[in-house]
Amino acid sequence: MRLYNTLARQKQEFTPVNEGKVNMYVCGITAYDYCHIGHARSSVVFDVLYRYLRHKGLDVTFIRNFTDIDDKIIKRANEVGKDAGDIAEKFIKEFYVDMDNLAVLRPDVEPKCTEHIGEMIELTQHLIDKDHAYATPSGDVYFKVRSFEGYGKLSGRNIDELDSGARIAPGEEKQDPLDFALWKAAKPGEPSWTSPWGEGRPGWHLECSAMSEKYVSLPLDIHGGGQDLSFPHHENEIAQSEAATDKPFANYWVHNGFVQINSEKMSKSLGNFFTIRDILDKFLPETLRYFLLTMHYRSPLDFSFDALEEAEKGIKRVYSALAQVDVELSKSKWKKSPFPEELVTELDEIEKHWNEAMEDDMNTAGALGHVFSAIRLAGRICEDKNLRKSEGGRDLFNRIKEDIKVWGSVLGIFERVPAEFLTELRDNRASRAGIDPAKVQELLDARKEARANKDFEKSDAIRDELVEMKVEVKDTPQGATWDVL
What does the pLDDT read at residue 268? 64
Report whether 88 contacts 69 (CB < 8 A). yes
386 or 3, greater pLDDT: 3
3-state secondary structure string, the chain? CEEEECCCCEEEECCCCCCCEEEEEECCCECCCCCEHHHHHHHHHHHHHHHHHHHCCCEEEEEECEECCCHHHHHHHHHHCCCHHHHHHHHHHHHHHHHHHCCCCCCCECCEHHHCHHHHHHHHHHHHHCCCEEECCCCCEEECHHHCCCCCCCCCCCHHHHHHHCCCCCCCCCCCCCCEEEEEECCCCCCCECCCCCCEEECHHHHHHHHHHHHCCCCEEEEEEEHHHHHHHHHHHHHHHHHHHCCCCEEEEEEECCEEECCEECCCCCCCCCEHHHHHCCCCHHHHHHHHCCCCCCCCEEECHHHHHHHHHHHHHHHHHHHHHHHHHCCCCCECCCCCHHHHHHHHHHHHHHHHHHHECCCHHHHHHHHHHHHHHHHHHHHCHHHHCEHHHHHHHHHHHHHHHHHHHHHCCCCCCHHHHHHHHHHHHHHHCCCCHHHHHHHHHHHHHHHHCCCHHHHHHHHHHHHHCCEEEEEECCEEEEEEC
Question: What domains sit in the chain, N to C, each tagged with a CATH number?
Answer: 2-278 (3.40.50.620), 312-417 (1.20.120), 433-484 (no CATH)
What distance in Å separates the CA atoms of residue 465 and residue 470, rounded to the nearest whole number? 9
Q: Which candidate, 139, 106, 132, 140, places its Cα nearest to that of 209? A: 132
What's the whole-number average pLDDT of the chain?
94
What does the pLDDT read at residue 31? 96
What does the pLDDT read at residue 87? 97
pLDDT band at 261 (very low <50, low <70, confident <90, very high): confident
pLDDT in tens, 224-243: 999 999 999 999 999 999 99
What does the pLDDT read at residue 265? 73
Q: Residue 232: is the preceding peptide bond cis (ω within 30°)? A: yes
Mean pLDDT confidence for 165-181 = 82
What distance in Å separates the CA atoms of residue 22 and residue 15, rounded to the nearest whole number? 9
pLDDT in tens, 39-83: 999 999 999 999 999 999 999 999 999 999 999 999 999 999 999
Does the predicted TM-score (pTM) go above 0.85? Answer: yes
What does the pLDDT read at residue 308? 96
Strand pairing class (141-143; 133-135): antiparallel
What does the pLDDT read at residue 121? 98
Cβ-in-10-Å burial (0-12, 13-18, 19+) of 171 comes to exposed
Compute CA distances 339 → 335, 342, 398, whole Å.
10, 9, 15
pLDDT in tens, 266-317: 766 677 789 999 999 999 999 999 999 999 999 999 999 999 999 999 999 9
| 408 has pLDDT over 80 | yes
pLDDT in tens, 437-481: 999 999 999 999 999 999 999 999 999 999 999 999 988 877 888
Give the phi and the psi of residue 299 in degrees, each rounded to 5.
Answer: -85, 150
Q: Which candidate, 419, 436, 425, 424, places its Cα nearest to that of 470? A: 436
What distance in Å separates the CA atoms of residue 249 and residue 212, rounded to the nearest whole number? 9
Cα 162 versus chain centre, distance: 32
pLDDT band at 164 (very low <50, low <70, confident <90, very high): low
Share of the chain above pLDDT 90, in %: 89
